[in-house]
Structure 1
Amino acid sequence: MARRPSVFVRPLSMDEGRKLQRITRTSKDPVRMRRAIVVMMSGQGQAVRDITSLLQVSEDYVRDVIHAFNERGFDALDPKWSGGRPRRIGEQVRDWICLIARTSPAQCGLTGFSTWSLTKLRDHLVGQGIVAEISRETLRRILHDGGVSWQTTTTWKASPDPEFIPKMRRILDLYDHPPADGRVVCVDEFGPLNLLPRKGKAWRPQRRPRRQRATYHRYDGVMHMLAALDLATGKLFYRIRDRKRSTEFLDLLKVLRRRWPGEKLYLICDNFSPHRHPTVRAWCQANAVELVFLPTYGSWLNWIEAEFAALRYFALNGTDHRSHTEQNMAIAGYVRWHNHRAQPKVNFATDSPIRTWTDYPAKAA
């Protein structure tokens, strides 16, 4: 059988050659890159059979690319693919499938089930005559295209506090406009600090995670960290105690009072009973300390919670301290590192929807 005559790309200019070279080096589209290589090799005088041997493609493919480039130029590197076979399932039926997938099976008459599997959903669609037939893969793609994904159910606890909005706005105002006559400090408890192996993340060889021991008995009890975050400097101040009663909380407040004499303290705190103890309230009233309480279930408004999350992640996760002294030293080391790099706390949740909430908990729910 006679070999078909070889074809070559038309003569290329210097600019076209540089452009083709740039495409072969930087293009992220494998089709565009492969077509540019074919054109560039043909422009260098290599025959069709040499190009097919190197790129492992058919001679027809190489000839089609060369002819297309000779006719349309660089537009031939981006072929306009046809849409393929028309969809057998229309848009209205696809929307209906996504709606059913978001509905509980019990509401569709499938008692005893609380969620769909792809198989059960397919059987239901065929049984109800919504589609004549459909594969699980097609069903999965329809759900994906419709923005329906397999997710874990989560909970949302809306605050029942009737004064949620006023309390939230009071706290946000203190964050945004620190009072000239004093200092805003966020206080809270962190813990309990018990001794146990903690899960964490670390750089390790692939498929060789760090192993932690199992614990069955913990004889050393727990401790508690009472901490304060000064928004003006971003620094943390804390005490670790065996308990977290009103007595320990009041001791922390006295330390803060001595640290900033002559300034009124605005303390952001939650509704934990020691914070509202009559002894604590009386002392605060007599010592220029205003307790600004968070709304019920509104601990996320306390700026110190973010610092606690960082403390847990960097200082405790992945550790297995065998004594409270060892664990307390780790916490102390992290706090020193944090305070050395601390910056004033500004711009609390400036882009968050909570800034526009006026009818909570309706919006939260």
Structure 2
Amino acid sequence: MTRHQVDPLRALTDEEREVLTHISRSGSEPASHVARAKALLAVADGQSYTEAARAAGRRAGDAVSHLVSRFNREGLAALAPRHGGGAPPIYGSAERERILQEVRRPPDRERDGTATGSLTTLQRALRQAPDGLPQVSTYTILTVLHEAGFTWQASRTWCETGKVKRKRKAGVVEVTDPDTAPKKN
């Protein structure tokens, strides 16, 4: 006999059921998303949390109970995993934007001591700025740059993916690829 469910699964909309079915059958979705979708569909079809856990390849129903509660609150966003332990993230969106702002600034010989950019130069500039990040590491800077679509060029500069400078009769023009964002996904 099963226990009383404290937070039973709400009724799924047709769109939610369709998306969950699609994800549960997908071979390209992350395995965690597929398992969560299978568990939610099993609960929606009337199975207990323990049976749903086994249908999704898990052992215990407690995780399914937590997933159902989270799905009731957040909807399909509950399929994506959250922070999984360890130290909490230190740098939020404001700090990431500050790093990107510093990258977009061309290096100044007087202020930075060099005319070319590097991770160490960025780190030094961010640590010394009054509105900077005194503890930032080069690894954090590198991670933020890669997430934002920057790549390291042979000219020892960072370049935003999809933006390139072209010589034209009127001078140097920055050209932007309109399909850059869809290519990154």
Q: What TM-score, normalized by structure 1, do the two folds share? A: 0.30
Q: Secondary structure at the match of 1:149?
A: strand
1:183-220, Cα deviation, whole Å (9 max, x unpaired): xxxxxxxxxxxxxxxxxxxxxxxxxxxxxxxxxxxxxx
Deviation, 1:151, is: 0.6
Q: Is the 8 A contact 2:36 2:79 kept in 1?
A: no
Deviation, 1:50, is: 4.0
Match of 2:57 in 1: 55
Bigger radius of gyration among the two: 1
Q: Distance in 2 between matches of 1:47 and 1:65?
A: 13
1:308-361, Cα deviation, whole Å (9 max, x unpaired): xxxxxxxxxxxxxxxxxxxxxxxxxxxxxxxxxxxxxxxxxxxxxx9xx9x726
Letter in 1 for 2:103: C
Match of 2:171 in 1: 362
Q: Distance in 1 between matches of 2:16 and 2:171?
A: 62
Distance change >3 Å, CA 364–CA 38, structure 1 → 2: closer
Q: Distance in 1 between matches of 2:13 and 2:125?
A: 62
Q: Is the 8 A contact 2:40 2:68 kept in 1?
A: yes
Q: Secondary structure at the match of 2:171?
A: coil
1:229-286, Cα deviation, whole Å (9 max, x unpaired): xxxxxxxxxxxxxxxxxxxxxxxxxxxxxxxxxxxxxxxxxxxxxxxxxxxxxxxxxx
Match of 1:275 in 2: none
Q: Is the 8 A contact 1:9 1:43 kept in 2?
A: yes
- Which structure has more relative contact order (CA 8 Å, sep 6+)? It is 1
User: Any stretches of 5+ residues in structure 1 without a counterpart?
Assistant: 155-353
Match of 1:76 in 2: 75
Q: Distance in 1 between matches of 2:117 and 2:60?
A: 46
Q: CA RMSD in A?
A: 4.9
Percent identical among aligned pairs is 20
Match of 2:118 in 1: 117
Q: Distance in 2 between matches of 1:50 and 1:128?
A: 56
Distance change >3 Å, CA 63–CA 138, structure 1 → 2: same
Match of 2:107 in 1: 103
Letter in 1 for 2:62: D
Match of 1:153 in 2: 155
Q: Secondary structure at the match of 2:63?
A: helix
Deviation, 1:29, is: 4.7
Query: Which one of 74, 77, 89 corresponds to residue 95 of structure 2?
Result: 89
1:275-354 to structure 2, matched below 5 A, reads none
| Structure with more helix by fraction | 2
Q: Secondary structure at the match of 1:55?
A: coil
Q: Is the 8 A contact 1:6 1:47 kept in 2?
A: no
Q: Distance in 2 between matches of 1:58 and 1:33?
A: 17
Deviation, 1:150, is: 1.0
